[in-house]
A and B are shown apart, each in its own frame.
Chain A
Amino acid sequence: MSSSLHLLADIRQSSERRPFSVLQLAEPLLNTNSVSATDDAYLVYEQVFISAIDERQIELAKALLLLLRKRFPASLRVKRLYGMINEAVGHPDEAQSIYTEMLATDPTNVLASKRLIALLKAAGHTEEAVAQLAAYLDTHSNDFEAWLELAHLYMRNHRLAQAAFCLEEVILQQPANHYFHLCYAELCYSMGRLDLALKEYLRVVELSTDNLRAFYGVKLVADRIRELRARSKKDPALCIDDAPQPATLDRLAQLATERLVAIYSRANQVTKTTAELWLSS
């Protein structure tokens, strides 16, 4: 039993979203009522509540919510859960009114702000979600996850330049995380800023050895730059001014090909042959 509690605590700590595992771990605990005595009881209830509404077990969620409300009647944290269950059963307007009410009482409440934005996003009102998120970020400008979310929202609407701005904010706050550089590189490639894309892909490869996606990026961008240089007419949408010299470019492309072959040598036969076909073309 205590090992289940430990596992649940670990999942809480890592903020992973694993509703099935959480429910599996928690069902026996809740059925034998052995959670209520522990210190973490209400944390577990909240965690199981969120997993229950993820898995559409609304009755269980309602029961847990009643328990939580009995213990913490005036809590904003519990009120947010009311909003979430309204969202889950398909009453977005009620949920929205709950969240706006929470924000009216306490404008600094991060939970309510984020749930409101998530609600708008899920309902498809991307513009409103963007506006709310931008307002949130005006106050809490060091929340890099929010910047990341805004970047994704912009990318949904193909506003790539704005998304690039958001990703730059994320990189400013987390410069050593290779995944953000990778997102930024791919975005730059999509925007046509090929020189910057190449440099960012190389940064990913430096931070994370043998990163498959990044090496693909290096190879594709290098080939594209070479192709563009060979053309006489310059395409104004594509930016290759800052790209390295042809000699360096060749070496980088060759390195990328070699590393890709090395990575695929560990894969199964079908993948290997497909990759080799593509690489040699």
Chain B
Amino acid sequence: MLNNLFILSNSGEVLIEKHWTGKVKRTVCELFWEHVTKVKDRNELNPIIITPKYYILHIYRYELTFLSAISTETPPLFVFEAHHRITDILIDYFSNLNETIIRDNFSTIYQLLDEMIDGGFLVQTEPNQLKDMILPPSLARRVLQNVTDAFSVSQDLPTGVVSKIPWRRNDAHYVTNEIYFDMYESIDAIIDANQQTVTTSLSGEIRSNCRLSGMPDLTLTFTRPSLLDDVALHRCVRINRFLRERVISFVPPDGNFKLLTYRLGGSFNIPIAIKPMVSFRAGSGRVQISVTPRFMENKAITNVVLHIPFPSSTRATSLNASVGTIKIDPNTQVCRWEIGKMPREKTPFLEGSISLPTDYVNDELVTIRAEFQVKMYSSSGLKVDGLSIRGVKYKPFKGVRSITQAGRFFIRCTDI
């Protein structure tokens, strides 16, 4: 039950206020903002704040706060998923989200909130259906609205509103029928300085861009279906068929959507190895970091960036990198070493010294965060085997590509 929604700007001003049941006073936002002023970093504020009368649940995205004050027993994840869904729909409509966009489009936003939620119940959250009912803003429509009395709400109900397949509209039509699948694999890892992995996990995501006419029924099969055990499937996927046969059988929504996410434990290839040697003492510090590729004979590792946090009391630095550029953020003292594409012949090597105050005490651990990307490669070995399509008369173009990248990838350095 979503009783109400407040959208607050980055300064605590109420941009949108919508009540579906009950009447919660606006003062609840002031109460919330008191908590905001008490934390240094906005992201560290507990998403659930308990006050005598309400539970205040909020998410913080795009520098905006989406807040609900709940007074009856409700699953908290229900509220958060509702907030995220609303945010996703707004992004779908306006391509971006910030205070200005909210102010410029507040009437569309109120109409959307009215359609999506009735009496606190979430009734319509499918983007394609909402777009048929409340037309997204465009220049032509804006001009028309200003000049005439034309509504931006359509007069008829969209066709798929009460069907069993509400996520797809009936009348999709394309001249060239194509469907693309993107497999993103993110490697999360904590590695200690001896190259031992403390913990690793791989989270994968298959996104799709579907430009197919009519109502196609697709079945996606994989080369190693046993890898797909721990999954979270889009609501269009037939779960029971997946459990029986390990195939993804679905009627796709139109446009861009996230088909499924999966998670793998166990062992898989980590494309780069980072050897950090760090020593911070009173007066000065030394740092030596090398980056080497692993298992990648013929694939290029690109977008390699290392974030090295130096102690906040660092005075000056003198660093040299054999490959790439170094930039130090003066506010946070985080050094950003941008290597870009891993070279074949040279090994990227960063070394140098920093000067620290003479009373510096080494009590902080240094943890390096790494970013990288390998195109046309999936670390887990999961590959799409085939895509069969039923229910339509045409033969569509099918494309698949995969990318492995660093997720939350951390290397801990111990002192030398």
To the question of whether A and B form a pair in one complex, the answer is no
B contacts, CB < 8 Å to A: none
